[in-house]
């Protein structure tokens, strides 16, 4: 095109469209990078959130050497729930529906699991404490959820849990629910060297 010629409207529109498209591509790249970074950071952020709030039992303290702390004159009611994932053919239940616990005092309860199949099956339990705030004051000293559990065909096992609730539990919390869910674990290494669930004292 001659230098003296005026650019046509079509040329101007094409150049403007090209600049717009380039800006759009850069913005989309920035959005994609930001979304990736946000997704990558979500896991540790969620973990920290759970630890602070006690959600998903993250705030529960594990202290296998503890025998309790200075007792309080206050009691709290602890309810015990048990569920089994649909992929695990076990019967699983709490040994007692609830009990009254003195704050600071080491307490014991137990759960019962039975394998309903002929073959040995390994399971692993996850737990939750409700309300989530209460998990920040809930201390476990022994629990079957610390290890995977192998049950032979039609074997039944009584599994203890030792715990205490710290005396500084907020006054508005008068009842705590401790629940467990058992899942099937078919990993090859999960069957080896599984300690039996027996009381430590």
Indicate whether 108 and 152 sit together in one domain: yes
Band of residue 24 on the pLDDT scale cut at 50, 70, 90: confident
Burial class of 9 by CB neighbour count within 10 A (0 to 12, 13 to 18, 19+) = exposed
Cβ–Cβ < 8 Å for 110, 160 = yes
> Is residue 121 in a domain?
yes
Task: Please tell me the total count of domains within the chain.
Answer: 2
Between the ranges 58-72, 74-88, 177-191, where is the mean pLDDT highest?
74-88
Indicate whether 82 and 178 sit together in one domain: yes
pLDDT at 105 over 90: yes
More reliable by pLDDT, 161 or 36: 161
DSSP string, 124-176: EEEEEEESGGGGGGEEEEEEGGGS-EEE-TT-EEEEEEEEEE-TT--TT--EE
pLDDT tens profile 122-147: 999 999 999 999 999 999 999 999 99
Q: Residue 146: its pLDDT value, please?
A: 94
Integer-rounded Cα Rg, in Å, for the chain is 28
Indicate whether 173 and 139 sit together in one domain: yes
pLDDT tens profile 38-63: 444 444 443 444 444 444 445 566 66
More reliable by pLDDT, 72 or 103: 103
| Beta strand 121-130 pairing with 175-184 | antiparallel
Give the mean model confidence (pLDDT) for residues 93-122: 97
CA-based nearest residue to 113, from 79, 149, 87, 142? 149
- The pTM of the full predicted model, rounded to 2 decimals, is 0.64
Give the mean model confidence (pLDDT) for residues 186-199: 47
| Beta strand 75-84 pairing with 98-102 | antiparallel
> Is residue 100 in a domain?
yes
Q: Residue 134: its pLDDT value, please?
A: 97
Provide the residue range defining the domain that includes 178: 59-191
Indicate whether 32 and 78 sit together in one domain: no
More reliable by pLDDT, 198 or 39: 39
Indicate whether 78 and 102 sit together in one domain: yes
Query: Which DSSP symbol is given to 105?
Result: B
What lies within 8 Å, CB to CB, of 71 at 6+ separation is 102, 103, 104, 105, 167
pLDDT at 67 over 60: no
Indicate whether 132 and 162 sit together in one domain: yes
């Amino acid at each position: 095109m001659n230098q003296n010629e005026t650019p046509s409207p079509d040329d101007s529109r094409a150049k403007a469209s090209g600049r717009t498209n380039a800006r759009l591509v850069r913005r989309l790249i920035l959005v994609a990078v930001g979304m990736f970074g946000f997704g990558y950071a979500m896991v540790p952020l969620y973990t920290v959130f759970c630890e602070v709030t006690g959600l998903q039992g993250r705030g529960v303290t594990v202290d296998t050497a503890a025998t309790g702390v200075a007792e309080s004159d206050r009691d709290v009611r602890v309810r015990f729930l048990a569920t089994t994932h649909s992929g695990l053919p076990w019967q699983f239940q709490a040994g007692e529906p609830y009990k009254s616990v003195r704050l600071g005092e080491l307490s014991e309860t137990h759960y019962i699991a039975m394998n309903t199949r002929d073959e040995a099956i390994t399971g692993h339990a996850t737990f939750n404490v409700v309300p989530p705030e209460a998990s920040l004051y809930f201390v476990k000293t022994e629990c079957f959820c610390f290890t995977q559990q192998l049950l032979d065909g039609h074997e039944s096992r009584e599994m203890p849990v030792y715990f205490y609730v710290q005396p500084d539990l907020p006054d508005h919390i008068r009842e705590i629910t401790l629940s467990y869910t058992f899942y099937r674990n078919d990993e090859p290494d999960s069957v080896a060297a599984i300690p039996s669930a027996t009381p430590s004292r």
